[in-house]
Structure 1
Amino acid sequence: MSDDASPTGRLIEVELDETIGRAPPEVEHDRAAAIHDLIEENSFTPAGIAAEAFRLKLSMVEKRLVFDVSGASGTTVVTHVLSLTPFRRVIKDYFLICDSYWEAMRSATPSQIEAIDMGRRGVHNEGSQILRERLAGKIEVDFDTARRLFTLISVLHRRL
């Protein structure tokens, strides 16, 4: 989907299947915040499906991320399975730079923190672009929605 003002579908609900697993409370909080941000603003339309309200259920099957998309009524519209292999390096880099950012918040100068944050945003953008490429022809999302989905995918892998 282009980033213009074309009519698009949107997510009205995002659910994490039990196959995702539970995480420590701090990570669960981050997951809930990522879902909230995604629901608040998004552009999400499965290819070939008229724009409407959609529900997304994420699950894991054999180390693959499953996007189970339903209409507002709950009827399954389409299911897509994505390998997480293309995301491994960028997610690892993202966690490393986020850790550096939080460490810098304790003792670094504002300009050092800003430089690390710029790097963090760059890695986040890279992950978002990979996600858009992996969803191309399957689910149309704008860049901001891809960013929010990448945040959620990253948080799904976060361990304390």
Structure 2
Amino acid sequence: MKTAANRGRLVSVALDEESIGRSTPDVEHERRVAIYDLIEENVFEPVGRDALEYALRLTIVDRKLVFEVTTPAGEPVITHILSLTPFRRVVKDYFLICDSYYKAIRTASPSQIEAIDMGRRGLHNEGSRLLMERLDGKILIDMDTARRLFTLISVLHWKG
């Protein structure tokens, strides 16, 4: 069994600025935090590759999510292209509930905020599990890595 010390991991993550568009300050904050957390701790192993350090560039091309994986020096490792169609509903619902959450934290009672946050986390987990399923057999990731990647995918997908 592999330990954290001998697992593949991401050492850098870049988002294609052309794909992102402008977002709200709350969404931009989520993106920065997700990238920081992702770099700090992750499991990321392209299937069939030795456990190494990897760089990831996420972009959207023709409504498809492109995972460009390279070595930290920029040597190509693998590129995976995923349809965003399966993510559309969960991303849309996730952003609707995030919007409600950000509004609620300014005016709602703690119990109302907690209820909205539970729904937000549930949708986030649903999107993260979907990402793990879509990458199955291509890139091994754990749930924490999937959650952080889902946040980034949401930001790329939402041109808000």
Shared fold, TM over 0.5: yes
Q: Deviation per CA, 1:93-133, whole angstroms, max 9, x where unpaired?
A: 10111111112212221111111111110110000000000
**2:7 is equivalent to residue 8 of structure 1:** yes
Conservation of the 8 A alpha-carbon contact between 2:21 and 2:159? no
Q: Which residue of 2 aligns with 1:90?
A: 90
TM-score, length of structure 1 as denominator length: 0.89
Q: Shift of the alpha carbon at 1:25?
A: 7.0
1:1-160 pair list within 5 angstroms: 5=3, 7-24=6-23, 26=25, 27-160=27-160
| Structure 1 residues 143 and 24: CA distance shift in structure 2, 3 A | closer
How far did 1:61 drift? 1.7
- Preserved contact between residue 30 and residue 151 of structure 2 (Cα < 8 Å): no
RMSD: 2.0
Distance 1:55 1:36 in 2: 14
Structure 1 counterpart of 2:58, one-letter code: L
Q: Is the 8 A contact 1:19 1:61 kept in 2?
A: no
Instruction: From the superposition, tell whether residues 136 and 73 of structure 1 become closer, same or farther in structure 2 (CA, over 3 Å).
Output: same
Q: Which runs of structure 1 show a deviation greater than 2 angstroms over 4 or more consecutive aligned residues?
A: 4-7, 24-34, 157-160
| Residues 1:90 and 1:25: Cα distance change in structure 2 (over 3 Å) | closer
Distance in structure 2 (CA, Å) of the matches to 1:28 and 1:15: 14
Structure 1: unaligned runs, 5 residues or longer? none
| TM-score (norm. length: structure 2) | 0.89
Contact 1:34–1:152 (CA<8 Å) still a contact in 2? yes
Tell me the distance in 1 between the aligned counterparts of 2:149 and 2:102. Answer: 22
Percent of residue pairs bearing the same amino acid type: 61
Checking the alignment, whether the CA contact within 8 Å between 2:20 and 2:158 is kept in structure 1 is no
Q: Secondary structure at the match of 2:145?
A: helix
Structure 1 distance, partners of 2:18, 2:106, is: 36
